[in-house]
Amino acid sequence: MRKITSLLIVMLAVAGVFLGISCKNKSEVVDNPKGYDLSKPIKYNMHINLTEISGIAFRHGKNDSLYAEEDEDGKVYYLKLGDKKVSESRFAKSGDYEDIAICNNYVIMLKSDGTLFTFPFNQLRNKDIPGVNKIKDVLPGGEYESMYADEKTNRLYVLCKQCNDDKKKHVSGYILQLQTDGSVKQAGGFSIDAKVIEQLAGKKKGPFRPSALAKNTNTNEWYILSSVNKLLVVTDANWIVKSVYPLKASVFLQPEGIAFDSQYNLYISNEGDLVSPGNVLRFNYIK
């Protein structure tokens, strides 16, 4: 009887180890948000003029034309992914431009100091865009890199990368209402708990510094990039953090832009360097 009991104990122990290993392996599969495989992108290398590609956007979610900007020149670039030809239109003098959004009839550009530039979408075909609205002091002082336009509500969502009021505990966000003349008005605010992000990341990565923002209209979730922290953060519609995904440096050199098309495919742009070109990575939506 003792031998049988001992044998049962050994068998249960072995089974427990096996199940433990299996459960451990399952719990480690947290590298991808539902519907996407971040290890298998379709990569589009960018023209040399877009080596420092930052923000990216589609109009009405149509992926036949991608609109982008880069950090130094006050230009909007537009192209068809996979084509070598890139067109451009100048909207302002050189500066530190960080994101682009398209909201129905307007293009909105975000400068790192929070200054916004807006102009009609139909002016994009001009070499030099006339009548650009330059909007200052609508956002608190700080450094900004992330902006998203909701074409259903004509609202802009802007995240602060580094603001004095945040003090590492949260990330401040601001909602702006785009008017019919291209001006904007304040329409509210929100915040994201940076401490929760730090806890979910599993290791100290420093203060969370957002570099891009987009809404997944399929799930009503917010996708937030941080190039500095090499993270993708997903929140619910109310900005409550749901999950954090580490981004491999071998795939994401410097993730600075994010967008979804109307088929829910995910796009992330990466700045290049002296060795590697800037690129846009497409992650097909997996049903």
Which tens digit of pLDDT belongs to each residue from 145-192? 999 999 999 999 999 998 876 766 889 999 999 999 999 999 999 999
Reading the block at residue 255, the tokens are 């993730």
**Is-contact 194 208, C-beta < 8 A?**
yes
**Amino acid identity, position 211:** S
Rounded Cα distance between 152 and 168, Å, is 32
Rounded Cα distance between 234 and 272, Å, is 25
94 and 15, same structural domain?
no
26 and 38, same structural domain?
no
**Is-contact 172 164, C-beta < 8 A?**
no
163 and 42, same structural domain?
yes
**Amino acid identity, position 5:** T
193 and 151, same structural domain?
yes
Residue with tokens 């495989």: 37
User: Smallest Cα–Cα separation from 109: which of 275, 257, 266?
Assistant: 257
39 and 23, same structural domain?
no
pLDDT, tens digit, for every residue of 218-275?
999 999 999 999 999 999 999 999 999 999 999 999 999 999 999 999 999 999 998 9
62 and 18, same structural domain?
no
Q: In 100-110, which positions are buried (b, 16+ CB within 10 angstroms) versus exposed (e)? A: bbbbeebbbbb
Q: What is the CATH number of the domain that holds 100?
A: 2.120.10.30
216, β-bridge pairs: 221
Q: Which helix (H) or strand (E) holds 17?
A: helix 2-28
pLDDT at residue 209, rounded to an integer: 92
257, β-bridge pairs: 269
Task: Work out the pLDDT band at 87, boundaries 50, 70, 90.
Answer: very high
117 and 13, same structural domain?
no
Reading the block at residue 46, the tokens are 């960018």
Is 80 exceeded by the pLDDT of residue 7? no
Number of separate domains in the chain: 2
Rounded Cα distance between 78 and 124, Å, is 9
Torsion of CA 254, 258, 260, 265, to 10 degrees: 10
Kindly state the DSSP code that residue 122 receives in the 8-state scheme: G
User: Smallest Cα–Cα separation from 194: which of 217, 165, 157?
Assistant: 165
57 and 22, same structural domain?
no
11 and 144, same structural domain?
no
95 and 12, same structural domain?
no
Inter-CA distances, 276 with 45, 48, 134, 249, 258, Å? 9, 10, 34, 13, 19
157 and 271, same structural domain?
yes
To the question of pTM greater than 0.75 for the whole model, the response is yes
**Is-contact 147 101, C-beta < 8 A?**
yes
Rounded Cα distance between 38 and 177, Å, is 33
**Is-contact 119 155, C-beta < 8 A?**
no
Reading the block at residue 155, the tokens are 């609202």
pLDDT, tens digit, for every residue of 35-59?
999 999 999 999 999 999 999 999 9
Domain ranges, residue 10: 1-30
pLDDT at residue 30, rounded to an integer: 57
218 and 108, same structural domain?
yes
